[in-house]
Amino acid sequence: MSRTVEIGRAVLHSANGSLHLWLTAAITVWSQQQSTNPQQLDQYRFLELLLSGDYWVCRGYDMHIILDISVLLEPLNRDHVPQLMGVLREASVWHQLGLNVTISESEVQGQIRISIAHHRNVDENTTPARHRLGVNVPSADIKPPEMVPVISLNSVRLSLDILQPRPASKAKKRKMSRDANQKLGTLIDAGSDNSNNAQAALLDSSVTMVSNMQQQHFEEEILLESSVSPSNNQSNPWDNPVSISPHQVKKRCYAVSYESKSTNSGGQPVEVADISAMVDAAMRISVCRNPSRVSGGVKIVTSTFSATLSEVCPALFTPHYLQALSQRAHFLPTLSRSMVRVTCSPRNSVSLQEKMTTLLEEHSARWNAASHDSIPFPEDVVRSRLWKHLQSSLSERPTKSLLPFVTAAPKVHDRLGIVESSRITDREVSSTAPEEDVFSEPCAPLSSVSVSKIQAVDEDDDLLLADAGDIMMLWEGFDGGDVAIDGVQ
């Protein structure tokens, strides 16, 4: 069950005001569980579901990004496509996100397809993280617990309309024709005897002037309507605006509407460098809600994004998110079994046992509603809840700013215009990183008591004999704080 939903629109312009960019971003997702039907919710509720952290949003099969670019109401020139593909392919942001991209030209003129896959090669210079479970499992192959619903991101579509604004015309003062002036002066000098004839002639001249002004105004309206982009008349699933919550509406100065587009189709030709800067700014604002910087000379006029790609799918568009998640997820089976054993112990408080029982009943009801015959184990319920808590805590942590989505203009070496450009090495990418990322660090160091207990046991089941104090100390060292389960700290 798939669904396409628009995540936002934006208007950007260059510093000198020579170019305007109208951006529309939409995503297509697919639910892997029959119990989750994306078509039953409206756009706003569905986006809230994706941002809630209760679902694991991963890379779908044949995941790709479509850049639908039009310049001055025309599809992107085919001569500019190879150069634009070259600057996109060599962008340093793909290495920062740990992605392998394959960029190709679509059959539709003006569209560029970016196929995305996870980077699985391990750098020989870096020391691999040491995990007790699944040492040789790549971070890209991490999977959530069975009770966590999964939604895959299949495609992203960015529609970019690059326009040259039409210069504002100065209002001209209306003047009467020479014949009307002479006729009016003659009638005024004639005196009061011909007053009736003068009034009639004056009325005729006024009617003539008004009709001429109305005709000219009608012609201007026709020209204005003809200047609107032809893509506005096409019906597609991205034309409907996203529903915005009331608190978001207060922050918007004005809504983005395609009816206010105006362009100067007869202006100067747009260079590839200007198009690249607009593409970089469009992709940056689609990924980050508040980008720290955009391309040089590009400013954001307005934005109505309800969700960004890094919020919907941080596994793809947040640097080092998968590595941080995999380093912590290896401890979830041990922690879940230990917490269940400690909670069910008669030595603990009755209120803690009641809260655990309530948690198990809620998850059991959801599990049965999803047409599952078996009853979930308490360890699986706690593990899924810990996974959701881990997703939310990692998403709230600040990350460093993204590197550019385009690179310098590539070099053209042969007559056919084949683009060749030297790849940015890992050392160059690391040297250009703005600041250190919190996700690049391994798990928080465990306490000495917790480390000694983990090293002392040979099997995971032996850890079930630990008491409540040791389990809480283990979790504090694991994530820097107590885990909350329905209000239980």
Residues 146-165 have a mean pLDDT of 91
Q: d(Cα 234, Cα 153) in Å, to the nearest integer?
A: 25
- If asked whether residues 75 and 146 sit together in one domain, one would say yes
pLDDT of res. 32? 78
Task: Output 292-300 pairs: Cβ under 8 A, ≥24 positions apart.
Answer: 292/401, 293/401, 294/12, 295/404, 295/406, 297/14, 297/15, 297/16, 298/12, 298/13, 298/14, 298/15, 298/21, 299/12, 299/13, 299/14, 299/15, 300/10, 300/11, 300/12
Spell out the alpha helix ranges (H) of 3-80. Answer: 43-51
Give yes or no: residues 112 and 243 share one domain: yes
Cβ partners under 8 Å of residue 334, min gap 6: 460, 463
Same domain for 31 and 105, yes or no, is: yes
CA atoms within 13 A on the CB side of 374: 6
Phi and psi at residue 390, in whole multiples of 5°? -65, -40
Determine contact, residues 286/157, Cβ cutoff 8 Å.
no
Report the half-sphere exposure of 99 (CA within 13 A, side-chain side): 28
* Judgement on whether residues 240 and 116 belong to the same structural domain of the protein: yes
Query: Do both 70 and 199 map to the same domain?
Result: no
Residues 311 and 333 in one domain: no
Sort strands 419-420 and 111-118 into parallel, antiparallel or unpaired.
unpaired
Report the candidate in 350, 342, 349, 347 with the shortest Cα–Cα distance to residue 382.
Answer: 342
Q: Do 148 and 283 belong to one domain?
A: yes
* Strands 56-71 and 150-163, bridge-based pairing: parallel
Provide the domain limits for residue 188: 178-224
Q: What is the pLDDT of residues 291-350, one digit of tens each?
A: 766 766 788 889 999 999 999 999 999 998 988 888 888 888 888 888 888 777 776 667
Planar angle of CA 322, 327, 331, nearest 5 degrees: 130
State the pLDDT at residue 83: 92
- The answer to whether residue 351 is domain-embedded is yes
DSSP 8-state code for residue 273 = H
Would you say residue 72 lies in a domain? yes
Paired residues of 112 in beta bridges: 67, 105
Residue 91 is predicted with a pLDDT of: 93
- The model scores a pTM over 0.85: no
Helix ranges, 92-194 (H): 93-97, 178-189
Burial 40-63 (b: 16+ CB within 10 A, else e): eeebbebbeebbebebbbbbbeeb
Domain total for the chain?
3
The torsion angles phi and psi of 301, rounded to 5 degrees, stand at: -80, -55
Each residue of 446-477: pLDDT tens digit? 444 443 443 443 344 433 334 444 444 444 44
Q: What is the largest CA-CA distance in the chain?
A: 123
Look at residue 101 and tell me if it is in a domain: yes
Instruction: Decide if 209 is inside a domain.
Output: yes
Residue with more model confidence, 300 or 375: 300
Inside any domain, residue 488: no
- Predicted confidence (pLDDT) at residue 379 exceeds the cutoff of 70: yes
Tell me the per-residue pLDDT of 387-441, one tens digit each, with 9 for 90 and over. 988 988 888 877 778 899 998 654 443 333 333 443 333 333 333 444 444 454 4
CA angle centred on 438, ends 279 and 323, rounded to 5°: 80
Domain membership flag for residue 282: yes
Kindly state whether residues 115 and 158 are assigned to the same domain: yes
